[in-house]
Every structure is written in structure tokens, then in C-alpha cells.
């Protein structure tokens, strides 16, 4: 029942044709990026500015950092507002496009204050949707593959309704994002708001924090500093890792598409590997002497994950370009500058 495909390919192709004309019109937009001081948001801001937009970043700096935006200090088309989306919004100018990326994304970070995480997704998304509706603007929600939970359907298509534990420690994030999607599609149905929903799969790259806690940053930082590499469970669980520049290109295309895609769109790299294989790649690329140690698998950790990106391909002409090897090399170069390894590792 829940895997029935509700978006036939002929509709997707019509959308792709309409999308072309919109990319140029978007150039002069005034854009709000909520969560823009974070890892993905700061790269998105760079891409928007490069395309000619004027950009405001709104962020509470919970997991984001000024350092991610330092290079824009003298950019006249950029400004920063420190604010928490859970609180009433400060007075804001009118925007043409609103991206909502605000929400901690790493399990240890979103579980540190789970109630605030849930409220960020529900109250925060509601506030931004009202702003979008009142300005007759266009809205893009950064949703997540976590809406599929521990999936029983593989790979995951957008029409799969998911398998999420609503009461577990991941629920503040997963159910918050699911509730946010509900709000987004209700604004479309009730108010006719122009909306887009990107279901983002595991993304990595430069500007991730060394203390982010997700597997790519943990493993690379452990390898570079010569400390034990932590594999949760037996390492046979899978993920599909997308490099950040590919993801940002997908977000730009989704926001730029003239016609609403009529449902969520998966954005991610369909190349699936086990955590153990990821660790092997990092060990080889860094030449580390770190030991591999196992830790208990976190509660409700999804067993496998891979996006079906047929909709993104057909609608947006998008697919990822950066392979895992090149992406990991770029991430390793980033973390090498972020952390200072002990002398024994440095001299190797």
C-alpha cells in the first residue's frame, strides 16, 4: 500500500522542462537561509551569493559557527541575524526564497536537548512557513532520510511512508522532521504556498565540526589524531554518503524549479557502503595506525539506507558527481587543518 508510486514519470518530465527557465529568474532573489551558519547551510549561502542573490542568514549558533561565514564579513549582499526559531522572530525584510536548514543534524547534538530539537522543527518550520505565505515567497524544507526510520523498503523511494519509532531517543529529530513535512504540505494544500521538500541523505565534507559526532567526521578525526576508531555495532549497517557540493547543487535546483515537484524529493548519493567499508577507506587514505574498536549500536540505529534518486534525476536533471574516494580526500584535507594531530602522527 505504502509503496505505490504516486508520481508517474510523465509528470516528472513535464516538471524538468519547466525547471530550465526558472534558474535565471532566481538570480536577483532576496533569500533567507535559516540554519545558514551550519555545515550545509554555509555552503548553500556561498552558492546563492555566487549566483547573484542577496542572502540573510538566521541562526542561533547551536551547532553552527561564525567561522563558517567569516569569509563573508565584507560581502555587501550578505547579512547575519542571531536568533532562535523557537522564539518569536525579529522583524525581517521581505524574502523571495526561504530555505529552512535550521536543526541540529548529528545524533549526539540533536539528542542533547531533544525537546528543543522537536520544537525547532515544528515551531520553527511553522514560523518560516507563515513568513513565506505572507510574502508570497517560495519555501524549501531540509527534511531527511530519517523520515524513513529503519526502512523495510530498500532502496528508499519518496512514496515509502517509513518505519520510525515515535518514542525512542531519535524521535525528537525523526518525528520533528516528519511533523515539519506535514506542516509544509498542509500550507501547500490550505494556503497554496509554493513549497519544496528535500529529503537529504547522509552528507559530509568541509566545514563539518570535528566534534560533530557523525561517522565520517569521527572516523577521519580519530584516524588523523591516532586515537581509536569507533565502530558502533558490528559495522555491517549501511549508509550512502553524498559530498556537500553535490547536495548543495541539488538544493539549488529544487528551489529553482519553476513547478512544485508535487511531493518530497530524495537528495543523496545512491552508492551504498557498510560502516566497516567506510572505515577501511579512511584507514587506507590516511595511513593511520589507529586501532579499530567496537561500541554498542545506538538504539534504533537504521540497519541500511540508500536513496532512490529517480525523481531528482527526472525533475531536476540532478545526480551526484563526486565519488566517495574524492569526497573523502577533500574531507580529510579539511579535518587535517581543523585538528592538530600529536607529533607521532604528524611525522608519519
Tell me which residues are annotated as active site.
173
Minimum CB separation of residue 121 from ligand UDP in Å reads 15
Q: Which does 270 bind (CB under 5 to 8 A by kind): ligand UDP, ligand NAD, none?
A: none
Asked if 217 is part of the footprint of ligand NAD (rule: CB under 6 A), the reply reads no
Q: Is 39 in the site for ligand NAD (CB under 6 A)?
A: yes
| Residue 107 contact, options ligand NAD, ligand UDP, none, Cβ 5-8 Å cut-off depending on partner type | ligand UDP
CB-CB contact of 180 with 121 (8 Å): yes
Give the shortest CB-224-to-ligand NAD separation in angstroms.
20
C-alpha distance across the termini of the chain, in Å: 56
Cell numbers at 247, concatenated: 547536495
Of the residues 105, 206, 223, 328, which one makes contact with ligand NAD according to CB under 6 A = 105
Q: Is 331 in the site for ligand NAD (CB under 6 A)?
A: no
Q: Which of 59, 158, 181, 246 binds ligand NAD (CB under 6 A)?
A: 59
Stretch that binds ligand NAD, among 24-32, 196-204, 305-313, 335-343 (CB under 6 A): 196-204
229 binds ligand NAD per the rule CB under 6 A:
no
CA distance 235 to 231: 6
107 binds ligand UDP (CB under 6 A): yes
Residue 198, CB half-sphere, CA atoms under 13 Å: how many? 28
Q: Characterize the bridge pairing of strands 272-274 and 78-82.
A: unpaired
CB 80 within 8 A of CB 54: no
Q: CB–CB of 257/315 below 8 Å?
A: yes
Shortest distance in whole angstroms from residue 55 CB to ligand UDP? 28
Q: Which is nearer to ligand UDP, 32 or 231 (CB)?
A: 231
The whole-angstrom separation of Cα 36 and Cα 42 is 5
Cβ partners under 8 Å of residue 190, min gap 6: none
Give the DSSP per-residue string, 68-118. Answer: GGGGGTT-TTEEEEE--TTSPPPP----SEEEE--S--SHHHHHHSHHHHH
- Any idea which residue has 541540529 for its cell? 104
Number of chain positions touching ligand NAD (CB under 6 A):
28
Among residues 152, 156, 198, which one has the least CA distance to residue 177? Answer: 198
Residues in contact with 8: Cβ distance below 8 Å, sequence separation at least 6, in sequence order: none
> Which of ligand NAD, ligand UDP, none lies near 16, with the C-beta cut-off 5 to 8 A by kind?
none
Q: Is position 307 an interface residue for ligand NAD (rule: CB under 6 A)?
A: no
Q: Is 137 in the site for ligand NAD (CB under 6 A)?
A: no
CA distance 276 to 134: 48
**What residues make contact with ligand NAD under the rule CB under 6 A?**
34-35, 37-41, 59-64, 84-86, 101-105, 120, 124, 142, 144, 200, 202-203
Q: Can you give the binding site for ligand UDP, defined by CB under 6 A?
A: 107, 202, 214-215, 218, 230-232, 237, 239, 275, 297-298, 301
Amino acid at each position: 500500500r505504502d509503496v505505490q508510486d504516486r508520481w508517474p514519470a510523465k509528470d516528472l518530465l513535464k516538471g524538468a522542462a519547466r525547471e530550465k527557465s526558472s534558474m535565471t529568474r532566481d538570480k536577483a532573489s532576496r533569500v533567507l537561509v535559516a540554519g545558514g551558519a551550519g555545515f550545509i547551510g554555509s555552503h548553500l549561502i556561498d552558492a546563492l551569493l555566487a549566483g547573484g542573490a542577496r542572502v540573510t542568514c538566521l541562526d542561533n549558533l547551536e551547532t553552527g559557527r561564525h567561522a563558517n561565514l567569516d569569509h563573508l564579513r565584507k560581502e555587501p549582499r550578505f547579512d547575519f541575524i542571531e536568533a532562535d526559531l523557537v522564539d518569536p522572530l525579529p522583524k525581517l525584510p521581505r524574502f523571495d526564497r526561504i530555505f529552512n536548514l535550521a536543526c541540529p543534524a548529528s545524533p549526539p547534538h540533536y539528542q542533547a536537548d531533544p525537546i528543543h530539537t522537536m520544537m525547532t522543527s515544528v515551531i520553527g518550520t511553522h514560523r518560516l512557513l507563515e513568513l513565506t505565505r505572507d510574502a508570497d515567497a517560495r519555501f524549501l524544507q531540509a527534511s531527511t532520510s530519517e523520515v524513513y526510520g529503519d526502512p523495510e523498503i530498500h532502496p528508499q523511494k519518496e512514496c515509502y511512508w517509513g518505519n520510525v519509532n515515535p518514542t525512542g531517543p531519535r524521535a525528537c529529530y525523526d518525528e520533528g522532521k516528519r511533523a515539519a513535512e506535514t506542516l509544509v504540505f498542509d500550507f501547500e494544500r490550505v494556503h497554496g504556498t509554493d513549497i519544496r521538500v528535500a529529503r537529504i541523505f547522509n552528507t559530509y565534507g568541509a566545514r563539518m565540526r570535528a566534534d560533530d559526532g557523525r561517522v565520517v567526521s569521527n572516523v577521519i578525526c580519530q584516524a588523523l589524531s591516532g586515537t581509536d576508531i569507533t565502530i558502533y555495532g558490528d559495522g555491517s549497517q549501511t549508509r550512502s554518503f553524498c559530498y556537500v557540493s553535490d547536495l548543495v547543487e541539488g538544493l539549488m535546483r529544487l528551489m529553482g524549479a519553476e513547478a512544485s515537484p508535487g511531493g518530497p524529493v530524495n537528495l543523496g548519493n545512491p552508492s551504498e557502503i557498510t560502516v566497516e567499508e567506510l572505515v577501511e577507506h579512511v584507514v587506507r587514505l590516511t595511513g593511520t595506525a589507529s586501532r579499530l574498536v567496537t561500541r554498542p549500536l545506538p538504539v534504533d540505529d537504521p540497519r541500511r539506507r540508500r536513496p532512490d534518486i529517480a525523481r531528482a534525476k527526472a525533475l531536476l536533471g540532478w545526480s551526484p558527481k563526486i565519488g566517495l574516494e574524492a569526497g573523502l580526500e577533500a574531507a580529510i584535507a579539511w579535518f587535517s587543518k581543523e585538528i592538530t594531530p600529536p607529533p607521532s602522527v604528524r611525522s608519519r
